Structures are given as C-alpha cells and as structure tokens.
Amino acid sequence: MKRGLLLCGFAIWAAATVALRLAGQHVLPRAGSKGVPILFVVSFPLMGWVVRRLCLRFQLPREQWLEGALLVAAPTLLLDPFSSAYFPWVFPNMAPEVAGVFGGWMLWCCAGAFFGVSVPPAKQT
C-alpha cells in the first residue's frame, strides 16, 4: 500500500521531468513574470488534490495521510535538488535563469501535497 504511493511519487516525478525536458520552455515562466504566480496558484491545490486522491485510492487511513504525502513527495524532494544544481544539463531546452522558478515551484508543489492531506475533508450534508 505505502510502497504504491512511493512508486506513484516516482512515476509523477519521472513523467514531470520528461515533460519539462521536452516542453519546459513552454511551461516555466521567467522570474518576475505574471506567469509565476499563476503557475504556483494552480499547482498548489492541484498537488493537494492529487495526493488526497492517491491516499484514498490506496485506502490509507486518514491518520496516515501525512505519511502518504511524504512518500509521494519524496522523489521530488530527493531528486529535484540535483535537477536544480545541474539545471542546464537536465533541462537544456530552458533558459538557466528559470532554475530558481523551477526550484520554488517544486517546493510549492510539495507544500501543496502536504497541505492537501492536512486539511480536514468537507462535511457531507
């Protein structure tokens, strides 16, 4: 069950890395542009929703959702510092100046994942 969440985290990380390597120049805006807050505002709740859905899919008890979020986010937290450090080599299609946006975006996505599982579900009426 928990292993599946870690595998999902690796799959998400790998798919996102490949997508950014192929088309990242169309996704990551330059620092200071209006696109950065838009990217962050969209990504935060999206990652919260994705991780909540994964915890439900893997039938994780509610009290273990934070651990589930850690398992999903772990590949990003452990591997993307290297992607940031070697940004021009990992993402040759993107301007080196967007490395900071990339690093901030990865932190923002992980924060969204943790926040998403920390907020209690809405009460059903």
pLDDT tens by residue, the chain, 125 residues: 689 999 999 999 999 999 999 999 999 998 889 999 999 999 999 999 999 999 999 999 999 999 999 999 999 999 999 999 999 999 999 999 999 999 999 999 999 999 999 998 777 66
Domain enclosing residue 68, as ranges = 2-11+35-118
Q: Quick one: tokens of 22?
A: 């192929």
Q: Which string of b and e fits 90-122 if b means at least 16 CB within 10 Å?
A: bbeebeeebbebbbebbebbbbbbbebbeeeee
Classify residue 41: in a domain, yes or no.
yes
Q: Please report whether residue 28 resides in a domain.
A: no
Quick one: DSSP state of residue 61?
Answer: -
1 neighbors 11 (Cβ within 8 angstroms): no
Task: Evaluate whether residue 111 is within a structural domain.
Answer: yes
In this structure, is residue 62 part of a structural domain? yes
Domain-embedded: residue 86:
yes
Q: How far apart are CA 94 and CA 88, in angstroms?
A: 7
108: in domain: yes
pTM higher than 0.95 for the full model?
no
Our count of domains for the chain comes to 1
